[in-house]
């Protein structure tokens, strides 16, 4: 049973930022049993939020943090604004009493230490890294709690993050940079693979529209097969590779010393290094 039903209007869930990611997660929370009356949303684009969440009461949607009622005492604060807007959001948060709330951030590059500067060293803070398929509930999110987060609070955060897809946890925050490099940025790598495969199809004579269709369905279908199969990626690759066949000819290029594995390692290391730089 989802622990979201434990969140009440007395200590509501406060969502700061209801864009594509925050809005998709909110829809997932409501579907998982979160009471819409136990939700407060802050977002300057009221019309867009209203279309996304038509059942949200008028008084539970405000444009600015300063517009929240002074008496509000949230149980969970979800920080879903863009990283470049976080400094302003943190300054505005000083206008409300968050008491013993749990702060869950899905903002890239913002460390637990960053939030402790605003909320204090005793605050319960969870830093999470989702990826864009979370917008359709098919993402994967990795969270890292600070030492103040109880097992019960972590369990509720787990259920909150599950609305976006699969969830896992790390105990060392430094690993979030590696997570960012693999899964956070990873969807872009896959989209680029579609572009590259389609481009390769065009190069050998396929119509651009057909090449794009073949590439997209191949990537999506292979991913679905991998997800549903009881075999891992290595075995599935072997299954489709006939000795001396067409697939083997291509894999001899892709699996060469300077092939896809080497290229992907370089790419992920570059993303990892940049993630560390952004967090400094």
What pTM, to 2 d.p., does this model score? Answer: 0.88
Write down the pLDDT at residue 279.
75
- Report yes or no: 109 and 62 within 8 Å, Cβ to Cβ: no
- Report yes or no: 39 and 56 within 8 Å, Cβ to Cβ: yes
Same domain? For 167 and 190 the reply is no
Mean pLDDT in runs of 10 for the chain (280 residues)?
75 91 85 86 90 85 88 91 91 87 92 94 96 89 97 94 94 95 96 98 98 98 97 98 97 97 97 86
Tokens 């794009």 identify what position? 212
Same domain? For 158 and 56 the reply is yes
Same domain? For 117 and 227 the reply is no
Same domain? For 140 and 208 the reply is no
Write down the pLDDT at residue 2.
65
Pair of tokens at residue 219? 């990537």
Compute the distance between CA of residue 41 and CA of residue 78 in angstroms, rounded to an integer.
Answer: 10
Residue 177 lies in a domain: no
Tokens 């098919």 identify what position? 138
Write down the pLDDT at residue 33.
82
Give the Å distances, CA to CA, from 241 to 136, 141, 169, 227, 258. Answer: 32, 33, 35, 19, 20
Same domain? For 33 and 148 the reply is yes
* Rounded (5°) CA angle 109-110-113: 130
Residue 205, domain extent: 186-279
Same domain? For 191 and 140 the reply is no
Domain termination site, one of 112, 140, 171: 171
Question: What residues pair up with 128 in beta bridges, in sequence order?
Answer: 143
- Spatial CB neighbours of 138, under 8 Å, sequence gap ≥ 6: 165
Domain termination site, one of 118, 146, 171: 171
68 — phi, psi (to 5°)?
A: -70, 150
Write down the pLDDT at residue 53.
85
* CATH code where residue 275 lies: 1.10.3730.10
Residue 176 lies in a domain: no
Write down the pLDDT at residue 130.
92
Same domain? For 88 and 192 the reply is no
């Amino acid at each position: 049973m989802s622990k979201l039903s434990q969140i009440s209007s007395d200590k509501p869930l406060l969502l700061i930022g209801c864009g594509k990611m925050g809005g998709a997660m909110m829809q997932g929370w409501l579907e998982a049993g979160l009471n819409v009356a136990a939700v407060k949303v802050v977002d300057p684009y009221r019309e867009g939020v209203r279309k996304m969440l038509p059942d949200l009461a008028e008084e539970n949607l405000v444009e600015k943090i300063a517009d929240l009622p002074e008496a509000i005492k949230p149980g969970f604060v979800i920080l879903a604004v863009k990283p470049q807007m976080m400094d302003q959001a943190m300054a505005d948060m000083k206008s409300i009493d968050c008491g013993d709330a749990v702060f869950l951030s899905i903002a890239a590059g913002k460390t637990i230490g960053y939030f402790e500067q605003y909320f204090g060293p005793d605050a319960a803070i969870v830093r999470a890294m989702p990826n864009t398929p979370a917008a359709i509930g098919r993402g994967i999110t990795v969270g890292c709690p600070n030492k103040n987060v109880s097992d019960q609070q972590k369990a509720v955060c787990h259920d909150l993050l599950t609305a976006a897809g699969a969830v896992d946890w790390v105990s060392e925050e430094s690993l979030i940079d590696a997570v960012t490099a693999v899964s956070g940025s990873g969807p872009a790598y896959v989209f680029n693979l579609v572009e590259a495969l389609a481009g390769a199809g065009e190069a050998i004579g396929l119509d651009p529209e057909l090449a794009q269709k073949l590439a997209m369905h191949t990537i999506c279908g292979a991913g679905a097969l991998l997800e549903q199969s009881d075999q891992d990626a290595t075995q599935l690759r072997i299954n489709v590779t006939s000795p001396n066949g067409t697939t083997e000819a291509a894999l001899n290029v892709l699996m060469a010393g300077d092939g896809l594995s080497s290229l992907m390692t370089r790419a992920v290391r570059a993303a990892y290094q940049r993630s560390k730089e952004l967090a400094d």
